[in-house]
Structure formats: C-alpha cells, structure tokens
Structure 1
C-alpha cells in the first residue's frame, strides 16, 4: 500500500505490514519517508491509544498541517486492544491518499 500526495509517495509497505485502527491504515516507521514529515506541536491524547504525535506533511512546498500522526508510546491497554504493538506507526488523513 502507498500513502501519496500528488505524485509523491510518502510511505509504502505491503498491506500485511500495516495495521488498521479505526478505519485508518498505520504504516510501519521504516516505510515512511521521514524527511517529508515535520513534528507538529499540536497536542492530543487518545483515551485508549495514548499521547499522539502529529506531523505536518511537506511535499514540494505544499504543507499539510497535522495530516500525519503516530503514537510513540501507546498505552499497553491500547496495544492489547489492537493486538499488535503500533509504536511509531504512522497514519495519514485528508489530502494524503492511501491506496492499495
């Protein structure tokens, strides 16, 4: 699967390596082009997943605020709920297309 903005691939990994949580695909950290993400100061804590780290996606001068996120240290109960450790896996939203 791929996460794409325009013609730029931000993340790419086999579907079996991704984790689906609440309708969002989370990509393994090693599959994400980190140079296209900038940490955002936007705070958020999910009641069951833990403290979230948002990212601004920066592709060819187009900055998409908070369109990517991860959970660097998810709650143990969240990992149990998902059934797999999703630490630092990255999900995308809105203008970032996730395709097969």
Structure 2
C-alpha cells in the first residue's frame, strides 16, 4: 500500500498508483478529501497537459499547492486522468 503523508497524517493511500516521472499518482478515490482544498493554480506540462492543484490542510496547517492532478490530460497521459501526485514535503511511503 502506497501512502502520502503530511504532518503525520495519511492524506491518500492506494495499491493502484501510477508512477510517472518518478512521482506516485494516486487514484481520485484514494485521497482523503477532507484534507484537500481546491487551488486556482495551474501549470502546463508539454506532454501531460494542464495541471490543477490542491492545498493540503491538516490540523489547521496549510501546505499550498502540495498536490496536483490533470483533469483533462493529453492522450499520452490518459492513464493519470484525475490522479493526484504530491510534493512540498509530502512523504510517499510504500
């Protein structure tokens, strides 16, 4: 089971992550939505498309744009459509 952990709290866990460019992408139904706040931030990847972001909020602390996903990826990245990846201090454990 792969887990995403921030501030000692598991914010996502799954046995069905997709690994892309060294990042674990968690299926949408594996995230614990109570810790996720939609962000207005967007970035663009040349082959995956436009990414959207979430800010994590755990025990009153926020980690801005610590998670990202591709709601409408390009064809080569359809396997991660809606899947969520992490950075900015979120620990991934297998």
TM-score w.r.t. length of structure 1:
0.87
Superposed CA RMSD in Å reads: 1.0
Give structure 1 stretches of 5+ with no counterpart: 80-84
- Aligned partner of 1:88 in structure 2 is 82
Give structure 2 stretches of 5+ with no counterpart: none
Q: Counterparts in 2 of 1:1-100, with a 5 A limit?
A: 1-14=2-15, 17-79=16-78, 85-100=79-94
Q: In 1, are the aligned partners of 2:27 and 2:82 still within 8 Å (CA)? A: yes
Question: 1:43 Cα deviation (Å)?
Answer: 2.1
Aligned with 1:77: secondary structure? helix
- Aligned partner of 1:82 in structure 2 is none
Alignment length, in residue pairs? Answer: 93
Which structure is higher in strand share? 2
> Post-superposition, which runs of at least 4 consecutive aligned residues in structure 1 deviate over 3 A?
none
Question: 1:78 Cα deviation (Å)?
Answer: 3.0
TM-score w.r.t. length of structure 2:
0.93
Cα distance in structure 2, aligned partners of 1:54 and 1:95: 15
Aligned with 1:20: secondary structure? strand
Question: 1:69 Cα deviation (Å)?
Answer: 0.3
